[in-house]
Amino acid sequence: MDAIEIILISVAFAVLGIRMYQKYVKKNQGKSSAGTTTDSSFSSSSKDDDYEPYSRK
């Protein structure tokens, strides 16, 4: 193999990898933006509970 062939194959793999990454990001773009606002483990709503973790009640 000549150096030119190795460079061309490397460029082809790089372009293929970039295209696959772009498709992956585009596919997951809608899922991640909607999921981060609704799937929070800590809710922002206030709850009236008398739980104090270190009060030994």
pLDDT, residue 39, reads 46
The tens digit of pLDDT for each residue in 13-43 reads 999 999 999 999 999 987 765 555 544 455 5
At residue 41, the 3 state secondary structure works out as coil
How far, in Å, CA of 37 to CA of 8, rounded? 44
Q: Which pTM was predicted? A: 0.48
| Cα-Cα end-to-end distance for the chain | 77
